[in-house]
Structure formats: C-alpha cells, structure tokens
C-alpha cells in the first residue's frame, strides 16, 4: 500500500497570506490527524477528522482549520499567517478512531513564513 | 491530564554501545504506548507499540521497549547502536477520546 502523502513538501509564504496543505491517507484509512512540529515543542495536535467530521481539536486559534473529503483526503488551511506558524506540518492516518489504532505519518510539509 | 515526558533532550552514544531512551507517561487507565523515530526531513516511523500482555515488546531495527506500570515508564532500548540510528525519537500514548499525546522527543547522536 502506498503511504501517507502530503503536498506540497515545502512552502514559503509571507505574513498575512493564507495557505492550504493537503494530505492523502493510506487507502482504507478513515481517520486523518494534523500536527504542528516545531523545535523544542515537539508535536502539537491540531485536529482529527473521521468520516468528514472533525472529532477532536487541539488548542490552536481559529486561523487553523481543516476539512476532510468523502475519499478521506484532508486539507488544512491557515489564514493570516504569522511568523510563528513556521513549522513542519505532519499528517497522520489510521484505520479507525480507537486509541489502539496506530497512526502512520506522512513526510510533512515544511512551511516557512517570512 | 494525560502527558508524556522524555527527560533527555539530547543523547550521544558511541557506535556499538547500548542505548536507553527514557519515557514516562501520566495516564489514569491502561495506556497504549508507542515509540516513533524521525530521520531528518522525514515523517515519523513507528518502531514499536504496547497494548497489553508481555511487557517487553520487540520492534523494528533491533529496538525493544519495556513497559513498567509501577514506574509509569516505557523506555526504549537497543543493545548495539548503529550510525544509521541517529535520529529523533518520540514516545507517545494513545488515550481515550482518541487523541495521541507525544513527548517532546530525544535527539540521538551516534559518534564513530
């Protein structure tokens, strides 16, 4: 099976712009989670989608949003970018929603905000 | 509240030496525990996981981890480190509410 794919891999934006990141989960996986990774902060949970519905949300401002399509592909959007949004954004998919369902990660999208 | 602590931010070991990376968790119920590895520029790869049963679990690349309930720990070990093991390692707990909690990671440097 193909792994989790994320596009684009790298992105440079300026403050105030908005950005959309895309994630295609492993075939058959219905849950997609998004994480922000910055040095020293580790992985911060953004949100999780399952069957096109947001099921969990982390402690991020409303500028961060997401959605999931019927084919389980997911997008996340960040509006009004700030310098502090520079990070590696990771997407992870898993078959279901149980705590035992292993997450499989994509390579990430490196976002740089200038 | 659930949390995961990795006390060591950075560890340096010589190639061929043994390795132990520490992980402590805070969780009220039986935890589902994971170790992931992240190479530079890559996503996270699952090394091993613990759900129940034998407290010593084997993973890929020669890694193993031991679950100790009394110490709330899930330390990762490898008897002989290879230069290719240099990476960042993350411990995680899967909790009810379907959320995962990650430690802040331990960066491993391997010297020849």
Record: contact B43-A105, CB cut-off 8 A = yes
Mean pLDDT score of chain B: 92
User: What pLDDT score was predicted for residue B101?
Assistant: 87
DSSP A72: S
Residues in chain A with pLDDT values less than 70: none
Reported as a single tens digit per residue, the pLDDT across B29-82 is: 778 999 999 998 788 999 999 988 889 999 999 999 999 999 999 999 999 999
Rounded Cα–Cα distance for residues B68 and B71 (Å): 5
pLDDT band for position B95 (50/70/90)? confident
Closest CA of chain B from A99, distance in Å: 5
User: What pLDDT score was predicted for residue B29?
Assistant: 75
Rounded Cα–Cα distance for residues B108 and B83 (Å): 10
Closest CA of chain B from A86, distance in Å: 15
User: What pLDDT score was predicted for residue B96?
Assistant: 63
Residue in B34, B51, B98 closest to A55 by CB: B98
Check if A66 contacts B (Cβ < 8 Å): no
User: What pLDDT score was predicted for residue A88?
Assistant: 95
Rounded Cα–Cα distance for residues B3 and A53 (Å): 26
Rounded Cα–Cα distance for residues A91 and A36 (Å): 9
Q: What is the largest CA-CA distance in chain B?
A: 44
Q: Which residues of A85-100 are buried (b: 16+ CB within 10 A; e: fewer)?
A: bbbbbbbbbbeeeebe
- Enumerate the residues of chain B whose CB falls inside 8 A of the CB of residue A107: 41-43
Residue in A40, A100, A104 closest to B51 by CB: A100
Check if B96 contacts A (Cβ < 8 Å): yes
Reported as a single tens digit per residue, the pLDDT across A41-64 is: 788 999 999 999 999 888 999 999
Record: contact B90-A103, CB cut-off 8 A = no
Say whether pLDDT at B97 is over 80.
no
Rounded Cα–Cα distance for residues B32 and B18 (Å): 26
Check if A30 contacts B (Cβ < 8 Å): no
Check if A32 contacts B (Cβ < 8 Å): no
Query: Is residue B100 packed enough to be buried (19+ CB in 10 Å), middle (13-18) or exposed (0-12)?
Result: buried
């Amino acid at each position: 099976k193909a792994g989790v794919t994320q596009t684009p891999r790298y992105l440079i934006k300026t403050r105030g712009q908005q950005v959309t990141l895309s994630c295609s989960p492993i075939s058959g996986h219905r849950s997609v989670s998004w994480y922000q990774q910055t040095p020293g902060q580790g992985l911060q949970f953004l949100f999780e989608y399952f069957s096109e519905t947001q099921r969990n949300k982390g402690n991020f401002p409303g500028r961060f949003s997401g959605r999931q399509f019927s084919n389980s592909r997911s997008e996340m959007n960040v509006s009004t970018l700030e310098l502090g949004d520079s990070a590696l954004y990771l997407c992870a998919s898993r078959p279901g929603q149980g705590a035992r369902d292993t997450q499989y990660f994509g390579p990430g999208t490196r976002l740089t905000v200038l | 509240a659930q949390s995961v602590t990795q006390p060591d931010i950075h560890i340096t070991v010589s190639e061929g030496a043994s390795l132990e990376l520490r992980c402590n968790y805070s969780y009220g119920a039986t935890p589902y525990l994971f170790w992931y590895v992240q190479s530079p520029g890559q996503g996270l790869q699952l090394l091993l996981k613990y759900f129940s049963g034998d407290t010593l679990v084997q993973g890929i690349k020669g890694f193993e981890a031991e679950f100790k309930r009394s110490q709330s720990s899930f330390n990762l070990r490898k008897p002989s480190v290879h230069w290719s093991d240099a990476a960042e390692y993350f411990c995680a707990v899967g909790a009810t509410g379907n959320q995962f909690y990650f430690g802040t990671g331990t960066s491993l440097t391997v010297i020849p």
